[in-house]
Amino acid sequence: MMKGGRHLRSRGSARARRDFRTGLLFAMPWIIGFTVFVAYPIGASLYYSLCEFDGIRTPKWIGLANYRTMLLEDELFWRSLANTLYMVVIGLPIGMIVSLVIALLLNQRIRGMTFYRTLFYLPSITPIVATSILWLWLFNPQIGLINILLASIGVRDAPGWLTDPTWSKSALIIMGLWGAGGSMVIYLAALQDVPQALVEAAHLDGAGPIQAFRHVTVPMLSPVILFNLVMGLIGSFQYFTQAYVMTAGGPQDSTMFYALHLFNRAFLDFRMGYASAMAWALFIVTLACTAIVLRSSARWVYYAGEEA
Amino acid sequence: MIATSRIPIAYGPAVMATVLGLAGCAPQSPKGVREIVYWTGWSGHEYEVQQRILRDFHRTHPRIHVRMLSQFGNSGYQKVRIAFAGGSTPDIMSTVWADELAGYARRGVLTPLDRYLRRAGRNVDREYTTGVARMLRIDGRIYGLTATTNTQFIAYNRRIFREAGLDPDRPPRTIAELDAAAAACTRYARDGSFVRYGIRPAGLNTWAYVFGGRWYDPDTGRVTANDPHNVRALAWLASYSRRYDIRKMEAFQSTFGSSETPNGPFFVGKVAMWQTGEWADQYIRRYAPRLDWAWFPLPYPPEGRPMTTTAGGSVFVIPEASRNKEAAFTFLNWWTSPRPVERFCRSIGNVPPLILAGSQPSFQRDPLQRFAVRLSRSPNSFGPPPLPFWPTYAREITRAEEKACLGGQDPGRLLDDLQRRMVQEQRRVERELAR
């Protein structure tokens, strides 16, 4: 019995090993790809962040000097971090609320809904560069559609948008709303999953639409809100393309975002080592913010099947 | 199953090696013909012109075949950086901006051309315009050659000048005259917004030279950001923001983004004077063929420099990692000889950096081209200083200009601060390059 059992086990483990090997073999392209194109660059950037490295010649170990320069000497580091935090703290919540509101509107039962849904989703699949160039025109203070519209409703001192440091970030946030379709579809899908029975029960108990939304819909949506929040957080910290294409960081550094500053340091200033250090600092900040959000989620995210 | 699954494991490395091997192989070419790879930063029309010129080269040089690849736009220039980092560069490239030449040269990734030039009987100082020749020399050695350059001047609308009571045949020569002309041409609507304005001068990098300043001392190699002339230039640029409502001017000027479209403000008569270059000609011909316009060099103050312009453009370099330097130089030598340079510049609307090319009838017939050629030969033509951190420096100059003109900050203090930071940057880069 014992003998037979051992025999069986060893046969089983031989087979398991074989399966493991076959599995590994099939996974190899991805494992190799991940190692070569993701894991190695990540590791290399950590090493470079501790080096003086111009991106061309051999890196030279300098310890934490890059981090010290970053924190103590680089005024643009703090400026760009503050600009980026503005997008995270102001831009992200606005974007999330707007896409939720659009999703709620598109969750109504009226004719031609699929058309409207497509309409609102469409902008989010246009390339960012194309969108950015389009919005450059819309935001033009003199001949842009936005200011022409504002003038037609009697706004005489319309903002200079991208040419005015006090408005440039707001302009980018407004432009971001145009791409709200991406998170909107996720909300929409989740809204369709909200059990009608619960909503009806709330109504029977005398809840108005706002109360039903507040106490039934929002809790049911909370996992998706968390998802959109985390993804949005990571995306906002990496805000780059729009500023690169539209403003190049100006006017007066008002749209100099962290990723743009990092890019300039790496590719214009021959400071790849320093840029790597910046990337790791950003990683730590993003990680910390995400961790805080996830930690707090236990208090506000409701998963069906859990004790309420 | 098991047997077949083993095969890829055994073959995997072999397949991989084959793929990598193929990728690393030099391209096959007919016997006796040496193939060189050329990366160009020009695309579209300019690329096609190059292809035509290349055909001539192939006709006269049957033993060299040039494979031209377009590395267009910003990503192209990044690709260059990565190619240098990996040591897998083409044999020759024109994808290095004049701004970056010193940075690459000082990092040892470019071939010094002096030996080749001497052997070919070339003399950069005699052949090229002063500004360009100065720009190509880094620490006493030549690291690249150019086939194109640009000039900067002011185009003006003669009809607006007449309307404003100015003599269109006698454009401003001094800063004071320019200021007066700008004021005379400016018109406001009843609500205080602009109907038209005179000029919005910009580009501290250039105007500092006009005012007699400089960004580095060629004798000591030191940074001179807060040269008193530079400060005066910045104060003058900022004076325009004070004299004219800066917000309205910015709003009005933002249509400048579209200066190369039919409703560019200069083309439709909303701006009297346009700080531009010889390339403006083709746009005006296309979008405003009936515009009555002329041009004048950048006006200067009493202690300033006449006929000042900046020089720049794409530089042809032979990377140190090239395995076909001789053939690459043969190609470069031919490309930067008067005939191809003349043909290329004429076709794409640039100024030829070679004195002999600019003297050709094709450039001397047209009055604007003749003027641009004369301007490019001015002793006050300035290319990027041969500093390895110039792209950083140039960007910081623009930031200081923005802070003074839009943010109303004190020019003297801004340039003192710039000087302090650039001295620090220079020290850092020199230390880094010394190791």
Q: Each residue of B46-68: pLDDT tens digit?
A: 899 999 999 999 999 999 999 99
Domains B28-150+311-382 and B153-310+389-434 share a fold: yes
Asked whether the beta carbons of residue B107 and residue A270 sit closer than 8 angstroms, the reply is yes
Contact A142 B255 (CB under 8 A): yes
> What tokens appear for B319 in the block?
């990377």
Phi, then psi, of A281 in degrees rounded to 5: -65, -40
From chain B, the residues in CB contact with A54 under 8 A are 107, 432
Residue B164: exposure state from Cβ atoms within 10 A (0-12, 13-18, ≥19): buried
Q: Provide the CB-side half-sphere exposure for B372 (13 A, CA).
A: 32
Residue A39 token pair: 């894991």
How far apart are alpha carbons B355 and B129 in whole angstroms? 6
Exposed e or buried b for every residue in B167-178, given b needs 16+ CB within 10 A?
ebeebbeebeeb
Residues from chain B that touch A57, judged by Cβ atoms under 8 A, are 107-108
| Cβ pair A268:B103 closer than 8 A | no
Low-confidence ranges of chain A (pLDDT < 50): 1-5, 308
Q: What is the pLDDT of residue B243?
A: 87
**Residue B56 has what DSSP assignment?**
H
pLDDT at residue B400, as a whole number: 94
Q: Do B191 and A28 touch (CB under 8 A)?
A: no
Task: Write the pLDDT tens digit of every residue in A39-55.
Answer: 999 999 999 999 999 88
pLDDT of residue B11: 40
Q: Tokens for B341, please give them.
A: 């340079």
Question: Cβ of A60 and B263 within 8 Å?
Answer: no
Closest residue to B403, CB basis, from A18, A57, A252: A252
Of the candidates B12, B251, B391, which has its C-beta nearest A160's C-beta?
Answer: B251
Check if the beta carbon of residue A37 is closer than 8 Å to that of residue A44: no
What pLDDT is stored for residue B3 in this prediction?
37
A141 and A160 in contact (C-beta within 8 Å)? Answer: yes
Q: How many residues does chain B have?
A: 435
**Distance between CA atoms of residues B362 and B6, nearest Å:** 70
Question: Quick one: CATH architecture of B153-310+389-434?
Answer: 3-Layer(aba) Sandwich (3.40)
Fold that domain B28-150+311-382 belongs to in CATH = D-Maltodextrin-Binding Protein; domain 2 (3.40.190)
Nearest chain B alpha carbon to A73: B421
pLDDT at A148: 86
Q: Do A54 and B432 touch (CB under 8 A)?
A: yes
CB pairs < 8 Å spanning A and B: 74
- SS3 of B171, please? coil
Residue A251 to residue B399, Cβ atoms within 8 A: no
H or E element, residue A282: helix A272-300
User: Two tokens at B187?
Assistant: 């018109």
Tokens (6 digits) for B5: 């699954």
Per-domain boundaries in chain B: 28-150+311-382, 153-310+389-434
Residues of chain B contacting A, Cβ within 8 Å:
2, 5, 8-9, 12, 78, 81, 84-85, 103-104, 107-109, 191, 247, 250-255, 257, 263, 388-389, 391-392, 395, 399, 402-403, 406-407, 429, 432, 435
- Chain A residues closer than 8 Å to B103 by CB: 270
Could you list the beta-strand ranges (E) of chain A: 51-52, 60-61
Contacts by A255-262, CB closer than 8 A, 24 or more apart: A255/A83, A255/A162, A255/A168, A255/A169, A255/A172, A256/A76, A256/A79, A256/A80, A256/A83, A257/A80, A257/A83, A257/A84, A257/A87, A258/A80, A258/A81, A258/A83, A258/A84, A258/A282, A259/A84, A260/A80, A261/A76, A261/A77, A261/A80
Residues in A closer than 8 angstroms to B388, CB to CB, are 270
Q: Which residues of chain B have pLDDT under 70?
A: 1-30, 73-76, 246-247, 249-263
Q: Do A140 and B406 touch (CB under 8 A)?
A: no
Distance CA B414, CA A146 (A): 35
Between CA B305 and CA B209 the distance in angstroms is: 7
Residue A112, SS3?
coil
